[in-house]
Amino acid sequence: MRIYKVKDYDAMSRKGAAIIAAQIISKPDCVLGLATGSTPIGTYKNLIAAYNAGDLDFSQVKSANLDEYRGLPRDNDQSYYYFMYNNLFKHVNIDMNNTNIPDGMNPDADAECARYEEVIKSLGGVDLQLLGLGHDGHIGFNEPNDQFDKFTHCVNLTEMTIEANKRFFASIDDVPRQAYTMGCGTIMRARKILMLVSGADKADILYQVVNGPVTPQVPASILQFHPDVTLVADEAALSKF
Ligand code: GLP
């Protein structure tokens, strides 16, 4: 694992965007695995700025997002479709037909998970997977569990995740209890992984992810087994190292 320690959230966002930009420039038709949450917002802003400066072209880029809440339609302002459209896609020249996000409205969970795995396969796999980190060590919505899930699946969100994500909803009762997410196996099949982590509240879990045992109780710890992971984290997040 390559670790870049940067000063703060803004520096993390600039470096994160530079790594993604390098991927797009070196392979214009690459497949990006994209993430939501507050962590990548600054990275997306920097990518949009690079696009506006004429330095980046998304016209051939394809994307596959990590996850989506189950039961939220695309036009719900908390859906990850809405997030991606408003924080990145509508600002750049990506072809929306080349963007992929699990369909939170498909009531047939097994069919949706199988469909999404097939989509990723048909794209030829993910070249660069962007990841944030949940407070309980989750990646995508792979919550602490007794085993690592190999494929896209439907999960019950933990109380900690519901609590952490309630800030985006009118009340905690509005937070969906389930989500579709790529499995840890799906994530591990990406050729390269870029994890971004910011803030003192992630310091303990980030230490466990990188230095602790590899265990499905800390889902992100599986990244220790991936041959090409770049971690960009700020001083606060790396304060326990
Ligand atoms: C959500 C997402 C994750 C994300 C995590 C951390 O649960 N499903 O993909 O990494 O939250 O979010 P934040 O970046 O807001 O701390």
- For 60-100, what is each residue's pLDDT tens digit? 999 999 999 999 999 999 999 999 999 999 999 999 999 99
For residue 237, what is the enclosing H or E element?
Answer: none
Residues of the chain with pLDDT under 50: none
- Provide the pLDDT for residue 41: 98
Contact 104, 62 (CB under 8 A): no
- Provide the pLDDT for residue 127: 98
For residue 5, what is the enclosing H or E element?
Answer: strand 2-6
- Provide the pLDDT for residue 160: 86
Q: How far apart are CA 19 and CA 122, in angstroms?
A: 24
Is the pTM higher than 0.95?
A: yes
Q: Would you call 169 exposed, middle or buried from its count of C-beta atoms within 10 A (0-12, 13-18, 19+)?
A: middle
Residue 204 catalytic? no
Pocket test for ligand 1, best of 39, 69, 205 (most atoms within 8 A of CB): 39
119: tokens are 């989509």
Residue 226 catalytic? no
Beta bridge partners of 5: 233
Q: For ligand 1, what atom is nearest to the CA of residue 39?
A: 14
N-term to C-term CA, the chain: 14
Tell me 133's DSSP state: -
Q: How far apart are CA 223 and CA 176, in angstroms?
A: 27
Beta bridge partners of 33: 64, 129
Closest residue by CA, ligand 1 atom 10:
132
- Provide the pLDDT for residue 161: 87
Q: Cβ < 6 Å from ligand 1: which residues?
A: 35-39, 66-67, 132-134, 140-141, 161, 165
State the distance from the centre of ligand 1 to the C-alpha of 168, rounded, in angstroms.
12
